[in-house]
């Protein structure tokens, strides 16, 4: 197993309130696999990814418990220097905001070269050569000229390509792609995912794709993890999840997005209500105030993940 | 970029035009006829109206106002700045003679402002909300609030009267003695630079904090860079670029400071010349001083803007 | 930081109230008549009788410093008021009328911006002749531009708002609209500007008086006390240091308060440092 996350919890403390942004999540990922993480805005997807690289700013955030076994080592037990050797090298993260995630005062080339120089010890000129190759792989035209340009001279899509090149630079074993939600238009987004998938498949790189878009999951992910209010509510192979969604929240999610394989006459239903305030979670199951199948028990007891089929776990009392 | 420079230069010239009008008007509306003053100063005793009218004509003061203005500007541009009423010297010569002294003070005060304000602003941002941060932020307000003349007095009392570290006043030219020169300008430049130091530390702090909150800082950490590298190569550069504008913001204080500080510390520069001219109603000198103050401030602000544009790739390199 | 900020603003308020009390109750607080000379007791250091010592003609320094608060505060506040009235009017006209009015008024403010206030103040005061009146006039002439700029900027924003346009459509007269609808919206930034401006004006007045062409003896102002005291710095340091400290405290108080008000009235979000190790 490449990555095994066990009982990871990350909390934020602001104004004396504790926000359980990630609450006791466990999952694993094998070399070459792609995991899709879905859930509404604010459910803890980004925080759970940042926690893997220990990029949570403390204060206000803190990883309060858990183990993150990666290539046989617990990332949470590494020294500062050791975790730095993992960041950008063994695990790369591609951030959600292409417009703001690149440094405006350094050239694209410099920013792509940086991980090569610190992790691989390449000289400036070697790193530059490598960087131009990388920019070519992510299909940036005139890569050798564009390497000397600054981020503001690039469009959003091109910047996202640069981010991908940066992530690929050290040939990491795991890439986490926090999907740009609002910044890019859908076709560019699809193009980029396609590119990333292609580039990682050949090298057997594992991929975590964080997204709102179930279409993306269906297309690229081997398995899926559905998050709600900092917890995992359903975990399954992609095919199984779409065939037999086990959690009412997953079903609501599926009904709220258009699907290509669906008759256009089927009405889309947005999920009613608001995601809960993570600092004041409802008692019992966090989803119960919005759940169409809410039972008495749901109000008092929180369900744990349980196997409903082989490699298909759901946290819901209806399967009890 | 070229277009930008051109535009900024044109704006500066336009403002200079208005300033010249203001100075010209000031010279006409303010009581105290320059000719009268000149005649009184030359101790010619009471004069008949005819003589006065004669002299006025000689100065071109009987011509229509706009002609007078044009005459004044054209002679000023050609280097004819008039003659001091008090001393009879050519104003341009007086100016050139004292310019190096004041330039040294300007230079020194900016250096003080930098070496005090920059590091304090940086530590205060990096140690946010610590006692050090609170001290620096509060000290910065003190720095911008403290009047130069009082700061000067306290400095003189502490470092010249009580401890004799620095001379209480006077100026030793660089050509005479390097140490003597540095000792003589240390206190005056410090006093002139305090306002800038306060402003710098404030701007550096807030600019660095703002940059540290940006997404690209997270990207830098995610690459595996150590904190030191993240701060030095990724945070400092974008944070420091806007800080150069502080030089422009504080420049007015530096220039005004020169007037008081040179007067207090008996430094033979342009500020002292200006103050003495004001005391003596020496109009040609006052006029030249005002023009050069405005030119100075405009040029410095222009240079700051251009430097800023040059440093920031978002302005320098067009799409 | 918010707490610290407020604490600083609070400190400013406390100092300010102290100064106002000092000015208001000067006759009660001052141990001596500020103008009473005692030529047998000149340039004394601090003593039981004269807590801060005496000046060059034997007047009690403490009393002169206390009375000086009246002159200095009054001039700082008065010139700010005049400047605010002129500046706000000019800004309203510039912002609302636009066109040539706007161009002229804004070019005038540009012009003043590239001259340090102190230098112009010196020239104007010297030309008008020394004294309180000239100081107030010159500072007013210099200080109105800040108010004008802010008012104009806000007016430009506010006049596009629907209810202002609606008032216009209903036939309300131009000036009525200005005063009724626009002014309340520019109050917050103006109060901040005014607060900081009082501090600046106190500094200007003191500087002009320090150079000897502002408030004239025997009227006590902190600036002119400082001027005479400076000549005797080696003998009686308190003579110049005490009034200077008062000026600094006053300027600080207004700046602290202005800073706090700015934060309270215009809370800009300060960035948090992202992800760190
Ligand atoms: N720096 C922080 N301080 C306090 N709370 C935070 C911080 N960062 C995240 N949170 C909290 O953690 C929760 C999860 O945030 P996260 O960014 O992981 O959501 P997300 O699932 O990535 O949402 P999106 O799809 O909008 O990107 C949020 O509700 C937020 O309140
Ligand atoms: Mg996110």
Domain count, chain B: 2
CA of A52 to the centre of ligand 2 (A): 14
Per-residue pLDDT averaged across B66-84, rounded? Answer: 88
Residue B47 lies in a domain: yes
Answer whether A14 contacts ligand 1 (Cβ < 6 A).
yes
Planar angle of CA A146, A147, A153, nearest 5 degrees: 50
Q: Are B269 and B206 in contact (CB under 8 A)?
A: no
Nearest residue CA, atom 26 of ligand 1?
A41
Nearest residue CA, atom 11 of ligand 1?
A21
CA of B284 to the centre of ligand 2 (A): 68
| Best residue in A55, A63, A93, A95 for a mutation probing chain C (most C CBs within 10 Å) | A55
Indicate if the pLDDT at residue B197 is higher than 90: yes
- The token duo for A2 is 């490449």
At residue C276, the pLDDT reads: 40
Burial A212-234 (b: 16+ CB within 10 A, else e): bbbebbbbbbbbbbbbbbbbbbb
Residue B292 lies in a domain: no
Q: How far apart are CA A52 and CA A39, in angstroms?
A: 18
Is the ipTM above a cut-off of 0.95?
no
Q: Are A183 and A97 in contact (CB under 8 A)?
A: yes
Q: How far apart are CA B193 and CA B226, in angstroms?
A: 35
At residue A61, the pLDDT reads: 87
Per-residue pLDDT averaged across B176-203, rounded? Answer: 93
Q: What is the residue range of B29's domain?
A: 2-77
Per-residue pLDDT averaged across C70-76, rounded? Answer: 91
A55 touching B, CB under 8 A? yes
Summarize pLDDT for A146-190 with one digit per residue, the tens.
Answer: 999 999 998 888 888 899 899 989 989 999 998 765 556 777 777
Domain ranges of chain C: 2-276
The DSSP result for chain A, as a single string, is --EEEEEEEEEEEETTEEEEEEEEEEEEE-TT-EEEEE-STTSSHHHHHHHHTT---TTTEEEEEEEEEETTEEGGGS-HHHHHHHBTTTEEEE-S-TTTSS-TTS-HHHHHHHHHHHHS---HHHHHHHHHHHHHHTT-TTHHHHTTS-GGGS-HHHHHHHHHHHHHTT--SEEEEE--SSSS-HHHHHHHHHHHHHHHHTTT-EEEEEES-HHHHHHH-SEEEEEETTEEEEEEEHHHHHHS--SHHHHHHHHHS--TTS-TTSPP-PPPS-PPPTTSPPSSSTTGGG-TT--HHHHH-PPPPEEEETTEEE--GGG-
Q: How far apart are CA A77 and CA A67, in angstroms?
A: 8
Planar angle of CA B54, B57, B60, nearest 5 degrees: 155
Answer whether A278 contacts ligand 1 (Cβ < 6 A).
yes
Write down the residue that tokens 């000198």 correspond to.
B285
**Which range (B23-37, C132-146, C200-214) has the least confidence?**
B23-37
Q: Are A60 and A14 in contact (CB under 8 A)?
A: yes
Ligand 1, residue A39: give the atom nearest the CA. 21
Q: How confident is the model at residue B46 (pLDDT cuts 50, 70, 90)?
A: low
| Cα distances (angstroms) measured from residue A306 to each of A29, A301, A312 | 19, 15, 8
Do both B55 and B124 map to the same domain? Answer: no
CA of A311 to the centre of ligand 1 (A): 28
Q: Are A36 and A99 in contact (CB under 8 A)?
A: no
At residue A1, the pLDDT reads: 86
Contact: C275, A84; criterion CB under 8 Å: no
Q: What is the best residue among A45, A50, A58, A227 to mutate for testing ligand 1's pocket, by most ligand atoms within 8 Å of CB?
A: A45
At residue C194, the pLDDT reads: 93
Answer whether A42 contacts ligand 1 (Cβ < 6 A).
yes
Helix (H, G, I), strand (E, B) or coil at B282: coil
Indicate if the pLDDT at residue A98 is higher than 80: no
State the ligand closest to the CA atom of A47.
1
Instruction: Tell me the β-bridge partners of A225.
Output: A37, A235
CA of C6 to the centre of ligand 1 (A): 29
| Best residue in B129, B212, B216, B238 for a mutation probing chain A (most A CBs within 10 Å) | B216
Q: Between residues 40 and 99 of chain B, which touch chain C (CB distance below 8 Å)?
A: none
CB-nearest partner of A56 from C272, C273, C275: C275
Q: How far apart are CA B219 and CA A103, in angstroms?
A: 9
CATH number of the domain encompassing residue B258: 1.10.3720.10
Residue B138 lies in a domain: yes
Q: How confident is the model at residue A262 (pLDDT cuts 50, 70, 90)?
A: low
CA of B213 to the centre of ligand 1 (A): 15
A15 touching C, CB under 8 A? no
**Which range (A20-29, A105-114, B84-93, C34-43) has the least confidence?**
C34-43
- The token duo for A172 is 């990491």
At residue A300, the pLDDT reads: 87
pTM of this prediction exceeds 0.80: yes
Do both B131 and B220 map to the same domain? Answer: yes
Indicate if the pLDDT at residue C273 is higher than 70: no
The DSSP result for C176-200, as a single string, is HHIIIIIHHHHHHHHHHHHHHHHHH
Q: Which chains neighbour B (Cβ–Cβ under 8 Å, 3 or more pairs)?
A: A, C
Contact: B222, A53; criterion CB under 8 Å: yes
At residue C269, the pLDDT reads: 34
A 10 A CB-CB count for C125 gives: 26
Between B34-41 and B283-311, two packed helices, what is the crossing angle to 10 degrees? 120
Q: How many residues does chain C have?
A: 277
Nearest CA-CA distance, residue A46 and chain C, Å: 12
At residue B125, the pLDDT reads: 92
Do both B113 and B251 map to the same domain? Answer: yes
CA of A278 to the centre of ligand 1 (A): 9
Q: Return the CATH class of domain C2-276.
A: mainly alpha
At residue C5, the pLDDT reads: 63
Share of chain C above pLDDT 90, in %: 23
Do both B105 and B230 map to the same domain? Answer: yes
Indicate if the pLDDT at residue C163 is higher than 80: no
Indicate if the pLDDT at residue A44 is higher than 70: yes
CA of A21 to the centre of ligand 1 (A): 6
Per-residue pLDDT averaged across C202-217, rounded? Answer: 88
Ligand 1, residue C272: give the atom nearest the CA. 1
Residue B238 with chain A: CB contacts under 8 Å: 103-105
Contact: B18, C108; criterion CB under 8 Å: yes
Do both B51 and B164 map to the same domain? Answer: no
Q: Are A250 and A241 in contact (CB under 8 A)?
A: yes
Ligand 1, residue A47: give the atom nearest the CA. 18
Per-residue pLDDT averaged across A27-36, rounded? Answer: 91
Q: How far apart are CA C96 and CA B48, in angstroms?
A: 53
At residue C275, the pLDDT reads: 44
Q: Which chains neighbour A (Cβ–Cβ under 8 Å, 3 or more pairs)?
A: B, C
Contact: B290, C111; criterion CB under 8 Å: no
Per-residue pLDDT averaged across C73-87, rounded? Answer: 94
Residue A55 with chain C: CB contacts under 8 Å: 275
Per-residue pLDDT averaged across B27-38, rounded? Answer: 64
Answer whether A44 contacts ligand 1 (Cβ < 6 A).
yes
Do both B261 and B125 map to the same domain? Answer: yes
Summarize pLDDT for A231-243 with one digit per residue, the tens.
Answer: 999 999 999 998 8
CB-nearest partner of B145 from C119, C123, C252: C252
A257 touching B, CB under 8 A? no
Share of chain B above pLDDT 90, in %: 50
Do both B209 and B62 map to the same domain? Answer: no
Instruction: Tell me the β-bridge partners of A91.
Output: A87, A174
Indicate if the pLDDT at residue B208 is higher than 90: yes
Summarize pLDDT for B175-186 with one digit per residue, the tens.
Answer: 888 999 999 999
Indicate if the pLDDT at residue B114 is higher than 90: yes
Averaged pLDDT score across all residues of chain B: 87
**Which range (B236-250, B305-319, C142-156) has the least confidence?**
B305-319
Summarize pLDDT for C223-262 with one digit per residue, the tens.
Answer: 888 888 888 888 888 888 899 999 999 999 998 898 888 8
Q: How confident is the model at residue C26 (pLDDT cuts 50, 70, 90)?
A: confident
Answer whether A229 contacts ligand 1 (Cβ < 6 A).
no
Write down the residue that tokens 């540009």 correspond to.
C110
Summarize pLDDT for C114-140 with one digit per residue, the tens.
Answer: 888 889 888 888 888 888 888 999 999
At residue A143, the pLDDT reads: 87
At residue B108, the pLDDT reads: 95
| Cα distances (angstroms) measured from residue A273 to each of A42, A225, A269, A291 | 14, 22, 12, 10
Per-residue pLDDT averaged across B242-258, rounded? Answer: 89
Contact: C270, B217; criterion CB under 8 Å: no
Q: Between residues 23 and 62 of chain A, which touch chain C (CB distance below 8 Å)?
A: 50, 54-58
| Helix (H), strand (E), coil (C) string for B3-35 | HHHHHHHHHHHHHHHHHHHHHHHHHHHCCCCHH
Helix (H, G, I), strand (E, B) or coil at C86: helix
Burial C243-268 (b: 16+ CB within 10 A, else e): bbbbbbbbbbbbbbbbbbbbbeeeee
CB-nearest partner of A101 from B215, B226, B313: B215
Per-residue pLDDT averaged across A74-89, rounded? Answer: 91
| Best residue in C206, C249, C273, C276 for a mutation probing chain B (most B CBs within 10 Å) | C273
| C275 to chain A: closest CA residue | A57
Instruction: Tell me the β-bridge partners of A223.
Output: A35, A237
Do both B11 and B54 map to the same domain? Answer: yes
Nearest residue CA, atom 16 of ligand 1?
A44
Q: How confident is the model at residue A274 (pLDDT cuts 50, 70, 90)?
A: confident
If phi > 0 it is left, if psi is from -120 to 50 it is alpha, else beta; for residue B88 that is left
More confidently predicted of B2 and B215: B215
Contact: A101, B234; criterion CB under 8 Å: no
Residue B303 lies in a domain: no
Strands A17-29 and A3-14: antiparallel
At residue C277, the pLDDT reads: 37
| Cα distances (angstroms) measured from residue B299 to each of B14, B137, C9, C145, C252 | 13, 30, 36, 21, 31
Per-residue pLDDT averaged across B231-253, rounded? Answer: 90
Answer whether A60 contacts ligand 1 (Cβ < 6 A).
yes
Per-residue pLDDT averaged across C18-43, rounded? Answer: 83
Q: How far apart are CA C244 and CA C242, in angstroms?
A: 5
Write down the residue that tokens 């706090």 correspond to.
C260
């Amino acid at each position: 197993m490449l990555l095994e996350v066990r009982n990871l919890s990350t909390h934020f403390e602001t104004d004396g309130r504790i926000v359980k942004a990630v609450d006791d999540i466990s999952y694993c990922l094998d070399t070459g696999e792609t995991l899709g993480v879905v859930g509404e805005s604010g459910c803890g997807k980004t925080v759970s990814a940042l926690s893997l690289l220990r990029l949570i700013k403390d204060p206000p955030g803190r990883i309060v418990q858990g183990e993150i076994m990666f290539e046989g080592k617990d990332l949470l037990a590494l020294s500062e220097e050791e975790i730095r050797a993992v960041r950008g090298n063994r695990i790369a993260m591609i951030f959600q905001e292409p417009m703001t995630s690149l440094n405006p005062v350094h050239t694209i080339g410099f920013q792509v070269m940086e991980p090569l120089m610190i992790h691989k010890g390449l000289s400036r000129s070697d790193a530059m050569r490598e960087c131009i190759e990388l920019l070519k792989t992510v299909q940036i035209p005139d890569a050798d000229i564009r390497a000397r340009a600054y981020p503001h001279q690039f469009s959003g899509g091109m910047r996202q390509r640069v981010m991908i090149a940066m992530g690929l630079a050290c040939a990491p074993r795991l890439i986490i792609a926090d999907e740009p939600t609002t910044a890019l238009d859908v076709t560019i987004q699809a193009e980029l995912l396609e590119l990333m998938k292609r580039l990682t498949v050949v090298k057997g790189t594992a991929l975590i794709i964080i997204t709102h878009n179930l279409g993306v999951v269906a297309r690229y992910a081997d398995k899926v993890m559905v998050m709600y209010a900092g917890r995992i509510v359903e975990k399954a192979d992609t095919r199984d999840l779409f065939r037999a969604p086990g959690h009412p929240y997953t079903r609501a999610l599926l009904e709220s997005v258009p699907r290509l394989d669906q008759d256009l006459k089927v009405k889309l239903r947005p999920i009613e209500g608001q995601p809960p305030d993570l600092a004041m979670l409802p008692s019992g199951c966090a989803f119960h105030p919005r759940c169409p199948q809410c039972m008495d028990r749901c109000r008092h007891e929180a369900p744990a993940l349980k196997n409903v089929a082989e490699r298909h776990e759901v946290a819901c009392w209806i399967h009890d | 970029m070229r277009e930008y420079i051109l535009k900024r230069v044109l704006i500066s010239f336009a403002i200079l035009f208005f300033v010249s009008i203001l100075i010209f008007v000031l010279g006409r509306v303010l009581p105290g006829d320059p000719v009268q003053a000149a005649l009184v100063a030359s101790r010619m005793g009471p004069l008949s109206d005819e003589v006065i009218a004669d002299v006025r004509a000689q100065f071109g003061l009987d011509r229509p106002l706009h002609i007078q203005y044009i005459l004044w500007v054209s002679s000023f541009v050609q280097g004819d700045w008039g003659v001091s009423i008090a001393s009879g010297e050519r104003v341009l010569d007086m100016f050139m003679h004292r310019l190096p002294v004041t330039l040294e003070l300007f230079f020194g005060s900016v250096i003080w402002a930098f070496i005090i304000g920059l590091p304090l602003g940086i530590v205060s941002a990096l140690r946010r909300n610590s006692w050090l941060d609170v001290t620096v932020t509060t000290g910065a307000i003190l720095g911008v609030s403290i009047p130069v003349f009082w700061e000067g007095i306290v400095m003189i009392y502490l470092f010249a009267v009580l401890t004799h570290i620095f001379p209480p006043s006077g100026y030793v030219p660089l050509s005479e003695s390097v140490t003597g020169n540095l000792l003589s300008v240390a206190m005056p430049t410090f006093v002139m630079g305090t306002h800038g130091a306060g402003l710098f530390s404030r701007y550096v702090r807030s600019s660095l904090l703002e940059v540290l909150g940006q997404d690209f800082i997270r990207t830098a950490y995610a690459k595996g860079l150590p904190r030191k590298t993240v701060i030095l190569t990724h945070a400092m550069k974008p944070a420091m670029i806007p800080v150069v504008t502080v030089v422009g913001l504080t420049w007015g204080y530096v220039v005004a400071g020169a007037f008081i500080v040179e007067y207090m510390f008996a430094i033979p520069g342009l500020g002292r010349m200006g103050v003495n001219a004001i005391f003596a109603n020496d109009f040609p000198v006052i006029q030249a001083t005002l023009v050069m103050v405005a030119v100075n401030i405009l040029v410095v602000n222009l240079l700051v803007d251009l430097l800023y544009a040059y440093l920031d790739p978002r302005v320098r390199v067009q799409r | 930081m918010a707490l610290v900020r407020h604490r600083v603003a609070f400190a400013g308020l406390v100092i300010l109230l102290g100064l106002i009390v000092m000015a208001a109750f000067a006759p009660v607080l001052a141990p001596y008549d500020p103008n009473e000379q005692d030529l047998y007791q000149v340039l004394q250091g601090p003593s039981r009788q004269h807590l801060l010592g005496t000046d060059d003609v034997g007047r009690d320094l403490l009393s002169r410093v206390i009375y000086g608060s009246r002159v200095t505060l009054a001039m700082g506040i008065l010139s700010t008021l005049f400047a605010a009235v002129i500046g706000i009017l000019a800004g309203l006209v510039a912002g609302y009328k636009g066109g040539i009015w706007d161009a002229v008024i804004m070019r005038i403010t540009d012009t003043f911006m590239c001259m340090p206030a102190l230098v112009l103040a010196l020239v104007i005061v010297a030309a008008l002749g020394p004294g309180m009146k000239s100081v107030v006039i010159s500072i007013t002439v210099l200080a109105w531009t800040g108010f004008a700029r802010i008012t104009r900027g806000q007016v430009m924003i506010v006049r596009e708002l629907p209810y202002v346009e609606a008032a216009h459509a209903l036939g309300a007269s131009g000036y009525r609209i200005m005063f009724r609808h626009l002014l309340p919206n520019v109050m917050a930034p103006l109060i901040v500007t005014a607060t900081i401006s009082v501090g600046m004006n106190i500094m200007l007045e003191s500087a002009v008086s320090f150079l000897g062409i502002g408030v004239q003896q025997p009227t006590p102002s902190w600036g002119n006390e400082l001027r005479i005291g400076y000549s005797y710095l080696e003998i009686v340091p308190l003579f110049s240091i005490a009034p200077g400290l008062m000026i600094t405290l006053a300027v600080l108080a207004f700046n602290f308060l202005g800073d706090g008000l700015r934060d309270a009235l215009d809370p800009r979000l300060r960035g948090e440092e992202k992800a760190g190790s």
